[in-house]
Chain A
Amino acid sequence: MSSVPVTAQTAGKAAARAAARRQERLGRHDRPNRTGRAARAASRRPGWVTYALLALALAISIFPLYYTLVLGSSTQQEISQRAIPQWLPDLSLFDRFATVISATQINFWKALTNSMIISVTASLSVVLFSTLAGFAFAKLRFAWRRGLLVFVIATMAVPTQLGVIPLYILMTDLDWVGKLQAVIVPAMLCPFGVFWMTQYLSSALPYELVEAARVDGASMFRTFRSIALPAALPAAAMLFLFWFVMQWTMFFWPSIVLNSQNPTLPLVVQSLQGQYFTDHSLVMAGIFLVTFPLLVIFAIVGKQLVAGIMTGAVKG
């Protein structure tokens, strides 16, 4: 960079003034501590402020659950007198858990089993159908392939919940109202899954492998089972988790077609409110119970769920 006097000679006084101003502006930030700043940014070691803020975010994330435990260990009178009746949960919590679990109107165990059945069945079918379709779209050639794939993607934009009225009429005609299949069958449809497996398989499964299997005399289905399915496993696991959580926490459609005799866990929340609406400690203890199973699952596979959400974001 030329110095200011040189600029003044070659380009005139005004240009020199501008150059001086520019150098001053840049220099103040740049020159003295460039190396220090660059070194710091290159390693990007976060300071305690970052950790403090993250700890705050974490505290906010788990506070509501903690609050259910606190309210669950207090009595109704204590709750109606103070917003925070006590700071730590105590053992009376377990009495409330026992009350909720043994209440005949709540059907806790049935709800837990139902949620498990619905989530596992729906997720397994979604994974299987999506992988099959994804394999076909990504690696096989057939007429209207592109058109059909575009169609699948377009169906993602259609909110299927808007068809609830005819779907309910259909379920009534099939006599499925109050039965689990009324929730499972609609939950087997997942355009996002097809799209996702297509994306994943087109990059993760080389054509050569498919061709090699075909040359070795494998049928199409054998190729799918022995070549595509193992390759698709990581993405399939993520899709499974994603759909599992989605079905487990779903409320709108189950609340329409199921009832408190044959509920899922989110429906139990509703029963709790109907049953004990004046006794907040029982309601809160029940809410924790309802949330707990998925928290356990999350503690085990949360890492994969995080990875799944982050991968899905980059691809989608």
Chain B
Amino acid sequence: MTALKTPAPAPTRGRPDPQPPRRVGFSQRLGRWDVKFSPYLYISPFFILFALVGAFPLVYTAYVSVHEWNLLGGQGEFVGLQNFTDVLGQAVFWKSVANTFSIFILSAGPQLALAITIAALLDQNLRAATFWRMGVLVPYVVAPVAVSMIFGRMFADQYGLVNAVLGGIGLDAVGWHSDRFASHVAIATIVNFRWTGYNALILLAAMQAVPRELYEAAVIDGAGRLRQFFSVTVPQIRATMVFVVITATIGGMQIFDEVRMYDAQGLGGPSRNWMTTVLYLYDVAWGNQKNFGRAAAVAWLLFLLIVCIGLINFFLTTRIATSDGERPASRRRTKELIARAQAASQARAAGADAAHRAEPAEPADPSPPDPGPDRPGSQTTPGGDR
């Protein structure tokens, strides 16, 4: 834009002598505008897009949710909170919420455990490290719908691979599509298949950032591989673990692709055994009901649910992040150690009886999180930060 305006002081060409100051002034002013407005210009695409496809729809959802609104008929009359009470009164909605939680919990735990294991395996002096890393990332580039179709076939009630294997080792066939809990396990497996390798790489990155001196110190203290892992690695990557859990939670509340493609109908099974809330939203809006008003109400309820879980996550995280592993905590621990050493030396001076009383405290490892009395102190630290 500025380039277009620079030819403006063209008249100077004829009389060069008196004009230069003015010309400099003009280009300086242009430069100042450039400096002043460029930053806003550069960030504006993001904000315009956000207003258009992020903020506006979210707010407009509220407007739609209090109206009668149909896919074909469009906007109807104002109905207040009728849509919300309708949705809350439907058993299917509650079933979908329960399904969502069930599938999420079944997937989150094993996923984290597996991802940490794989990350620990990868966090070694491997030959062809990139090959193994790419290998565990392969499922990530397979579209969830495709994964779901393949696993839907493998988990088929009849002639399915999983049931065949179960039969091979002498177990009964499982109704992966007929039993509610079994279907949740199968869908959780689909989710885990896609995300475990991805999360393993994130955790691997965190593991590689752990200072090697800590391991050396642990080795000198006589810690074995397993002890090193639980006493050094896990506490050091705690923040990343929390990050992975939070991402998994937000994703877990919005599971759609996997359940939509798990069977041919894609509506959560004959008795909605594996219908998740997002699938319910889809069904209300574009399925049989074609009721946008109600679907908007579902969207808001789901949003509230996610916010609630986010808040719980947040409190748990600040708890975990400050209770140990942070600098204030370790400084406190150091003080405690010094205090304990002083007490011990005093006791030693006082005699055998006192030493005997102080002794049980000695073998106890100071590394577990500080007990009761120190909690309030650790709570005030993040408060000060905020």
Contact = CB atoms under 8 A, between A and B. Distances in A.
B42 A12 contact: no
Nearest to B43: A133
B34 A148 contact: no
B162 to A, nearest CB: 8
A245 B138 CA distance: 12
Interface string A118-161: 00000000000110110111001110010010001001011111
Interface stretch (A92-100, A101-109, A283-291): A283-291
A313 B201 CA distance: 8
Contacts of A43: 125
Interface residues of A, number: 114
B150 A67 contact: yes
A310 interface: yes
Contacts of A194: 43, 46
B136 A58 contact: yes
Interface in B280-320: 281-282, 285-286, 292, 295-296, 299-300, 302-303, 306, 310
A41 B215 contact: yes
Contacts of B40: 136, 142
Contacts of B124: 44-46, 50
Interface string A22-34: 1000100110001
B198 A284 contact: no
Contact of A136 (B38, B57, B142, B197): B38
B149 A245 contact: no
A29 B348 CA distance: 28
20 contacts: A12-B351, A22-B363, A61-B139, A133-B45, A140-B38, A142-B36, A142-B40, A157-B310, A160-B58, A164-B285, A164-B299, A185-B53, A220-B38, A256-B282, A270-B266, A298-B137, A303-B134, A305-B137, A309-B205, A313-B240
Given A30-B221, A64-B151, A219-B34, 15 more contacts: A50-B124, A60-B193, A61-B138, A65-B142, A132-B45, A133-B42, A136-B38, A157-B250, A165-B285, A165-B299, A167-B57, A251-B260, A252-B278, A295-B141, A298-B138
Interface of A: 10-15, 18, 21-22, 26, 29-30, 34, 37-38, 41-46, 50-51, 53-54, 57-58, 60-62, 64-65, 67-68, 71, 79-84, 129-130, 132-133, 135-137, 140-142, 145, 148, 152, 155, 157-170, 185-186, 188-189, 191, 194, 219-221, 224, 245, 248-249, 251-252, 255-256, 265-266, 269-270, 272-273, 277, 280, 283-284, 287, 290-291, 294-295, 297-298, 302-303, 305-306, 309-314, 316
